[in-house]
Amino acid sequence: MSTVNAALPGVFYRRPAPDQEPFVEVGAMVQEGQTIALIEVMKTFSEVKAEQAGTLGRFLLDEGDEVEAGQGVAEVVAP
């Protein structure tokens, strides 16, 4: 299992926009480099990407939570 960490501080979102579906649901397969969330800071949105392929085990944060740089945001279970 690997933890995906935030590269920068900000506010955590699982959706590309408030009225859209989440990038990925828990239990779904993700590819290496796939966008799984966004972090908003300084009026910019940075993509959070899976560092390895696998199943998205769980998110460690809820929509709209504040996140610190280096904090784990999701767990990916190797296939």
Partner 1 sequence: MSEVIVRSGGLYTTVQDAGRDGWYAIGMPPSGALDQYSFRVANLLVGNPEGAAALEATYIGPELEFTDERRIAVTGADAPARVNGEPVPLWEAIAVRAGDVLSFEMLTAGARPYVAVSGGIAVPEYLGSRSTYTLTGIGGFHGRALRADDRLPLGSPPVSGPSPGTSVPAGLRPALGGPAQLRLVVGLCSYRLTETAMESFVDTEWKVTKDADRVGYRLRGGTIDFVDREPPFGAGSDPANVVDLGYPIGSVQVPGGDEPIVLLGDAVTGGGYATVGTVISVDRDRIAQARTGDRVAFTSVDVDAAIAARRDRGIRLEKVRAAVS
Among 25, 32, 66, 78, binds partner 1 (CB under 8 A): 66
In contact, 60 and 73? CB cutoff 8 Å: yes
Among 28, 29, 69, 78, binds partner 1 (CB under 8 A): 69
Give the whole-angstrom CA distance, residue 14 versus residue 35.
10
Among 22, 40, 47, 53, binds partner 1 (CB under 8 A): 40
Instruction: Choose between 21 and 66: whose C-beta lies nearer to partner 1.
Output: 66
State the minimum distance, in angstroms, from the CB of residue 24 to partner 1. Answer: 23
Q: Which of 60, 50, 75, 76 is nearest to 12 (CA)?
A: 60
Give the whole-angstrom CA distance, residue 78 versus residue 16.
25
Question: Can you give the binding site for partner 1, defined by CB under 8 A?
Answer: 5, 7-11, 40-44, 46, 66-70
